[in-house]
Amino acid sequence: MLEVNNLNSGYGKLQILYDLSIEAPGKGITVIVGPNGAGKTTLLSTVMGVAKYMSGDILFEDMPIQGKLTHELAKKGISYVPQMGNVFAELSVMDNLSMAGYLMPKEESKIKADQMTEIFPVLKKFIHRDAGTLSGGERRMLAIAMGLMKNPKLMLLDELSTDLAPIIAEKVMMEIARLRDELGITILMVEQMAKRALEIGDTAYLMVSGEIRYSGKASDLLHEPELCSMYLGIKTDSDQIADLTKPSIEGSD
């Protein structure tokens, strides 16, 4: 669905990504993980025509899209849900959905908005409330629903678990998995909740300082104790066993 080859990009004269290559297979979840400042958000921003493209190839359904404007990419079927500023806080839930369907005829947009409230029942409950009064998890659901309004083939999701309580973040992760399993949408997600993202993901890339350090099955990355510990702060089963078998300082010679 999406293929990035030897991508170089950044902001102004500052280069962030260096010869970066990834693939996001159709109808799967591709997870991008890595430490803060690795360039994960820059990757999504470059694909969506926001960050500065310098060189390389970005292919969507085998067609080059580098240099395309953001609204042109939306028309092609790519939806971007950023980490922050992803809803209009002073507008109602219904008005947010209507804004997201601006490319559609009015009647079609209304039908699609109704479908979104069926997919996310919590939005129906608060359909006339201002988005700014929703909880963090509810706003994330609204942001995802706004992304779905455009009938996307590919969704780019940026750090949707940020600042959420673990139980709410888990609900968001389950909804993301449902987009793949029930709607067949291809997802490229950047996520700080690395362990859970890798558990629901199909393909994973570990990004460090604008370069790829791991690529392969998402579940396999969880069995790379050195990478998980050094870059993701994840303790694997082998790490935990090692901790249990370490001699305690108390009582030692």
CATH number for the domain whose boundaries are 1-77+153-161+179-224: 3.40.50.300
Query: For 235-247, how does the pLDDT look when each residue is reduced to its tens digit (9 = 90+)?
Result: 655 444 344 334 4
Give the pLDDT confidence score for residue 248 in this predicted structure: 41
What is this structure's pTM? 0.86
Give the pLDDT confidence score for residue 181 in this predicted structure: 92
Using a 10 angstrom Cβ sphere, with 0-12 exposed, 13-18 middle and 19 or more buried, the burial of residue 230 is: middle
The DSSP bridge pattern shows strands 52-60 and 2-11 to be antiparallel
* CB crowding 166-187: b at 16 or more within 10 Å, else e: eebbebbbebbbebbeeeebbb
Going from the C-alpha of 227 to that of each of 112, 155, 201, the distances in angstroms are: 42, 27, 17
pLDDT tier at 231, thresholds 50, 70, 90:
confident
pLDDT tier at 151, thresholds 50, 70, 90:
confident
pLDDT tier at 250, thresholds 50, 70, 90:
very low
Closest CA to 158 of 185, 186, 191, 180: 191
Give the pLDDT confidence score for residue 239 in this predicted structure: 46
Residue type, 131: A
Give the pLDDT confidence score for residue 236 in this predicted structure: 57
Task: Report whether pLDDT(95) > 50.
Answer: yes
Give the pLDDT confidence score for residue 253 in this predicted structure: 36
Give the pLDDT confidence score for residue 244 in this predicted structure: 32
Query: For 103-127, how does the pLDDT look when each residue is reduced to its tens digit (9 = 90+)?
Result: 788 888 899 999 999 888 889 999 9
Give the pLDDT confidence score for residue 65 in this predicted structure: 95
Query: Could you tell me the two tokens for 217?
Result: 């099955």
Give the pLDDT confidence score for residue 7 in this predicted structure: 96
Share of the chain above pLDDT 90, in %: 55
The DSSP bridge pattern shows strands 14-24 and 2-11 to be antiparallel
Write down the mean pLDDT value for the chain. 87
183 Cβ neighbours under 8 A, 6+ residues apart:
148
The rounded distance, in Å, linking the Cα atoms of 73 and 220 is 32
The rounded distance, in Å, linking the Cα atoms of 125 and 184 is 26
Give the pLDDT confidence score for residue 252 in this predicted structure: 39
In the chain, ranges of CATH 3.40.50.300 domains? 1-77+153-161+179-224
157 Cβ neighbours under 8 A, 6+ residues apart:
81, 144, 147, 176, 187, 188, 189, 190, 191
